[in-house]
Amino acid sequence: MMEFFLAKRASNSANFVKRFILASVCATLVLTSAAQLLPEDEVLVLQTISSKLQNKYWNVNQSSCIGANGFNLTFWSDDIYSGVNCDCSFNSSTVCHVTNIQLKGLNLTGSLPAEFANLSHLQEIDLSRNYLNGSIPAEFGQLRLVKLSLLGNRLGGTIPEEIGDITTLEELVLEDNLLEGNLPANLGSLSNLRRLLLSANNFNGTIPVTFGNLRNLTDFRIDGSKMSGRIPDFVGNWTKLTRLDMQGTSMEGPIPAGISQLKNLTDLRISDLKGPTTSFPSLQDMTKMRELILRNCSIIGAIPPYLGDLSRLKTLDLSFNMLNGVIPSNLQGLVNLDFLFLSHNSLTGEVPGWILDSRQKNMDLSYNNFTQSSVAGCQFSNINLVASHSTLASNSIPWCLKPDLGCPGNPNHHSLFINCGGRRIDFEGNEYEENLSDQGPSHFESYNNRWAYSSTGTYMGNDRGRFIAANYSSMISPAAEIYQTARLSPSSLKYYGLCLRKGSYRVRLHFAEIMYDDNSTFTSLGGGYSM
């Protein structure tokens, strides 16, 4: 009896312990789940933001931070992504606050909500590559953001001055929008700013003097804007800079001497400078340089031999300047060089044999004044020499090397029809010849001595970009086939009519926008053709 009683008491004690442990675990689970809650007012703010963005990817509730339930969604690309990070360390790990919001490439079509400013713990807003409209809310200036990226939308208006109050900001990315006006001077107060990307907008005016205070900048881009005035001397203050892009603006030269202080540069892209001629800038200490583009900058004089010592160079574009003299022989030692563009200068002497022997490199020496050459033909897959020789060159050089191009045969043609980038078709009673070659970075090609084309340039950040655009989905009739394809060129594209009889001709060009559909997605954002 006693043993039985003791055994039974032991059994009851064990059950009690088990029940106690189970109850403790359940209580812990309840407390843990309860601890990971967003405040109700923050949930309401997030729901408002989601509604204004027309965001169908969120299901916001107080438990959304638990495993990012209702927030995170990864698609087939890192550029197409819904992600929200929370910090759940508040009130002894019982309260969460949203710190990072990423909604990238989701084709959101709403407006940019001012309610973001009510998320007081927010450090990052990344709404890249959507279709958002409206303006940037001034209320964003209340946040302690580290990163603000609105790249690739349809945002208009000006940059609010209040953005300059976000002293914690390290990245401000506003590229590819419809923003306009002057750049706010108080952006120069953002002493922590590392990346300031403003390309492909409608900004005007000059770069504010206060930007000279941005000494932590590593990346500055204003390509494709209406910015004007001289390149400021204070760019020499940006000694941490690794990338500087100033292509396609209305800015003036000369390139300031202070640029020689930027010894960490790997990418320097400046083009289309207005103003007087200038000598070649001093870049000999930029040994980290990979991409050097100084196109159409009114640079005179000889190509400096020290460029041959920049051993990491991959792209060297000095086209559309006034350079003279010979091509330095030590450029041959640039083993990493893939693209050399020297077209539209006044270079003389002999076309170097190492360029003619190049097989894997893309070289463009067109429109120069070379006087000697061992070139025997006109067409190379990756070397463009059209109109590269002066009138002083031997008459024995191929016709395509002469400055006026001339006629390789007899002038017996009186019409010419070309389907640029497309196959042979019949259109409006005329036969349009095919033009299907996908060569492009440095290419000249002649077709039956009737016509030819020349293409120059490479796409920034995309060396494998194609040189023919095609759109077969939006055509509504067989007659529209001529608009299905088009030839592309990053820098220069020329067509030549050869051996045409003397007389007056009517030139008719067929244009259609086939690259950017008006379908309210980020892929439709871009500029149409202009003439």
Task: Specify the pLDDT at position 519.
Answer: 53
pLDDT value of position 530: 44
> Within 13 Å, how many C-alpha atoms sit on residue 54's CB side?
12
Domain residue spans in the chain?
Answer: 277-406, 418-524
Report whether pLDDT(497) > 50.
Answer: yes
Who wins on pLDDT, 308 or 379?
A: 308
**Neighbour-count burial of 363, counting CB atoms closer than 10 A to its CB (0-12 exposed, 13-18 middle, 19+ buried):** buried
Of 3.40.50.300, 3.30.365.10, 3.80.10.10, 3.40.50.170, the CATH number of 277-406 is 3.80.10.10
Angle at 397 between CA 394 and CA 400, to 5 degrees: 130
44 φ/ψ angles, rounded to the nearest 5 degrees: -60, -40
Distance in angstroms (rounded) separating the CA atoms of residues 220 and 212: 12
User: pLDDT tens-digit profile of 323-341?
Assistant: 999 999 999 999 999 999 9
DSSP for 460-493 reads TTBTT--SEEE--SS--SGGGGGGSEEE--SSEE
Distances in Å between the alpha carbon of 516 and those of 119, 248, 466? 35, 21, 16
Query: In the predicted model, what is the mean pLDDT of residues 20-27?
Result: 39
Amino acid found at 40: E
pLDDT-derived band at 63 (thresholds 50, 70, 90) equals very high
- The pLDDT value recorded for residue 190 is 98
Please identify which residue in the block is written with the tokens 């949203």.
98
Taking residues 474-502, report their average pLDDT: 79
Least confident of 1-5, 59-63, 214-218, 445-449: 1-5
95: helix, strand or coil = strand
Contact 530, 513 (CB under 8 A): no
Quick count: other Cβ atoms within 10 Å of Cβ 419?
22
Mean pLDDT of 294-301: 98
- The pLDDT-based confidence of 470 (bands split at 50, 70, 90) is confident
Taking the C-alpha atoms of residue 482 and residue 484, their distance in angstroms, rounded to an integer, is: 6
- Greater confidence (222 vs 70) lies with 222
Mean pLDDT of 259-282: 96
In 3D space, the residue among 96, 92, 41 whose CA is nearest the CA of residue 65 turns out to be 96
DSSP collapsed to 3 states, 394-411: CCCCCHHHCCCCCCCCCC
pLDDT top residue among 95 and 488: 95
Q: Per-residue pLDDT for 175 more than 90? A: yes
What are the C-alpha distances in Å from 466 to residues 265, 341, 530? 28, 18, 21
The pLDDT score that the predictor gives to residue 326 is 97
pLDDT recorded at residue 523: 55
Phi, psi of 449 (to 5 degrees): 55, 20
Point out the least confidently predicted range of 9-13, 254-258, 290-294.
9-13
Question: Mean pLDDT over residues 60-84, rounded?
Answer: 81
CB 313 within 8 A of CB 284: no
How far, CA to CA in Å, does 289 sit from each of 307, 476, 520?
Answer: 10, 49, 39
The CA distance from 440 to 457, in Å, is: 7
Mean pLDDT is lowest, of 173-182, 236-245, 467-476, for: 467-476
Burial (CB count within 10 angstroms: exposed 0-12, middle 13-18, buried 19+), residue 527: exposed
The whole-number average pLDDT for the span 503-511 is 85
- Other Cβ atoms within 10 Å of 169 Cβ, number: 27
Residue 478 reports pLDDT greater than 90: no
Q: Which residue stretches of 206-287 are H helix? A: none
pTM strictly above 0.75: yes
- How much of the chain, in percent, has pLDDT values that exceed 70? 87
User: CA–CA distance from 224 to each of 7, 10, 186, 191, 498 (Å)?
Assistant: 87, 83, 23, 25, 35
Indicate whether 2 pLDDT > 60: no
How do residues 95-152 score in pLDDT, each as one tens digit? 999 999 999 999 999 999 999 999 999 999 999 999 999 999 999 999 999 999 999 9
Mean pLDDT of 151-169: 98
Q: How confident is the model at residue 474 (pLDDT cuts 50, 70, 90)?
A: low
Q: Report whether pLDDT(10) > 70.
A: no
Report how far residue 415's alpha carbon sits from residue 145's, in angstroms, rounded to the nearest whole number.
62
Q: How is residue 240 written in tokens?
A: 């941490």
Q: Taking Cα atoms as reference points, which of 380, 374, 388, 385 lies closest to residue 359?
A: 380
What are 193-232's pLDDT values in tens digits? 999 999 999 999 999 999 999 999 999 999 999 999 999 9
Mean pLDDT (the chain, rounded): 87
The pLDDT > 90 percentage for the chain reads: 60
